[in-house]
Homo-oligomer: A and B are copies of this chain.
Amino acid sequence: MTLEAALRRADEASDQALETLKKLVAQPSVSTRNEGVQETATLLQEIMEAAGISTRLLPTGGQPAVYGEIAGPPGAPTVLFYGHYDVQPPEPLEPWHAPPFEPTIRNGRIYGRGVADNKGQHLCHILAVRAWREAVGELPVTVKFLIEGEEEIGSPHLADLVRVQRDLLRADLVYTSDGGMHPSGRPAVYFGVRGLLYVELEIRGASADAHSGNKGNVLPQPAWELVDLLHSLRGPDGRAAFPGFYDSVRSPTPKEQTMLQEIPFDRQSFLSEHGLDESSISDGADYHRRLTFEPTFNIAGLASGYAGEGTKTIIPARAIAKIDFRLVADQDPDAIFEAFARAVAERNPSAEVRRLAATPPSLTDPSLRASETVIGAVRDSRNVEPVISALGGTLPDYVFTQILGVPSTIVPYANHDEQNHAPNENLRLDCFFSGIRTTLHVLDALRDLPAKDAS
Contact = CB atoms under 8 A, between A and B. Distances in A.
Given A216-B392, A290-B217, A312 B305 contact: no
A304 interface: yes
A224 B305 contact: no
A327 to B, nearest CB: 11
Given A218-B281, A287-B218, A307-B322, A198 B299 contact: no
Contact of A212 (B215, B304, B326): B326
Contact of A314 (B154, B216, B300, B392): B300
A288 to B, nearest CB: 9
Nearest to A421: B211
Interface in A293-325: 294, 296, 298-316, 319-322, 324
Interface stretch (A70-78, A135-143, A227-235, A374-382): A227-235
Contact of A274 (B32, B206, B223, B316): B206
11 contacts: A206-B275, A210-B274, A210-B422, A212-B296, A212-B324, A223-B301, A227-B299, A228-B231, A301-B304, A301-B312, A302-B304
Contacts of A287: 218
Contacts of A210: 274, 422
Interface residues of A, number: 81
10 A-B pairs with least C-beta separation: A213-B393, A207-B275, A303-B307, A216-B296, A223-B299, A206-B274, A217-B290, A301-B305, A301-B307, A231-B231
A43 interface: no
Q: Which one of A208, A212, A223 has the greatest number of beta carbons of chain B within 10 Å? A: A212
A226 B302 contact: yes
Contacts of A320: 307
Contact of A32 (B214, B217, B311, B393): B311
B303 A214 contact: no
Given A274-B206, A312-B88, A322-B307, A194 B213 contact: yes
A164 interface: no
A280 interface: yes
Interface string A16-41: 00000000000000001100000000
B302 A315 contact: no
Interface in A52-96: 88-89
